[in-house]
Amino acid sequence: MEEVLLLGLKDREGYTSFWNDCISSGLRGCILTELGFRGRVELEKTGARRKAISNRKVMLLDDTATGDVLLDEALRHIKETQPQETVQSWIEYLSGECWNPLKLKYQLRNVRERLAKNLVDKGICSTEKQNFFLFDMTTHPLNDNVHKMKLIKRLQDSVLSRWPNDPRRMDRRILALIYLAHASDVLENAFTSLSDEDYEVAMKHVRELLDLDPDQESSKYDPKMETMWAVVSAFNK
């Protein structure tokens, strides 16, 4: 979640692009993926008749607190909800982008601001106030460039020098980061420093990942990654 936001934050200005309307739902996808990776939620089991991953409900596996306020808040909502909902529905509910007024209570508020505060606590960003004509806005300019450069280098290497040809050999977190950064419309920010040639190769490999079928891929990986593939499927629609 923090890495996706860090990719989206402008280094000097300390805020995400005003034109980016994807990062809100993208960050909710990150939350669900992280809960899956940590073994807190899973997708409902399928019987002999396989069910499309996008139609499988999110089931609570373990309600032990993670220690992360946003993750625990989402986990609490999932625990309290009957009947269970799909990943697509949860992305909408947690973003507050649903038409059902009864579901508005599930909206996670100030997600960007709370994640930015984590980055400030780690010394990666600072906090400033900026005046935008009609209103004041809290911004979080980059404090420690090293952390962001390492993140960008990791992403670039994963689709260039360390590209494995078989996505199953990729680290699950870097794979998730590529998908979720793309869904949040911030992946391009990691490739701006590349030469034209490297950029072309990097985007070719990213497109190969985006063209994979989440339904087919989910059965090839650790079950903890099923939630991630359901998130990918939701953003593919």
**pLDDT the model gives residue 137:** 74
**pLDDT the model gives residue 50:** 79
What count of other Cβ atoms lies within 10 Å of the Cβ of residue 88? 17
**pLDDT the model gives residue 132:** 64
**pLDDT the model gives residue 100:** 79
Q: What global pTM score does this model have? A: 0.92
- Dist CA 129 CA 134 (whole Å): 13
Which superfamily is assigned to 1-236 in CATH?
A: yeast vps74-n-term truncation variant domain like (1.10.3630.10)
- Dist CA 107 CA 110 (whole Å): 10
**pLDDT the model gives residue 208:** 96
pLDDT in tens, the chain (237 residues): 999 999 998 877 867 876 677 999 999 999 999 999 999 999 998 876 778 999 999 999 999 999 999 999 999 999 999 899 999 999 999 998 877 778 888 889 989 889 999 998 998 888 888 776 666 778 888 887 899 999 999 999 999 999 998 999 999 999 999 999 999 999 999 999 999 999 999 999 999 999 999 999 998 988 899 999 999 999 997
Question: Cα dihedral angle (85, 57, 39, 178), rounded to 10 degrees?
Answer: -90
| Structural domain boundaries in the chain | 1-236
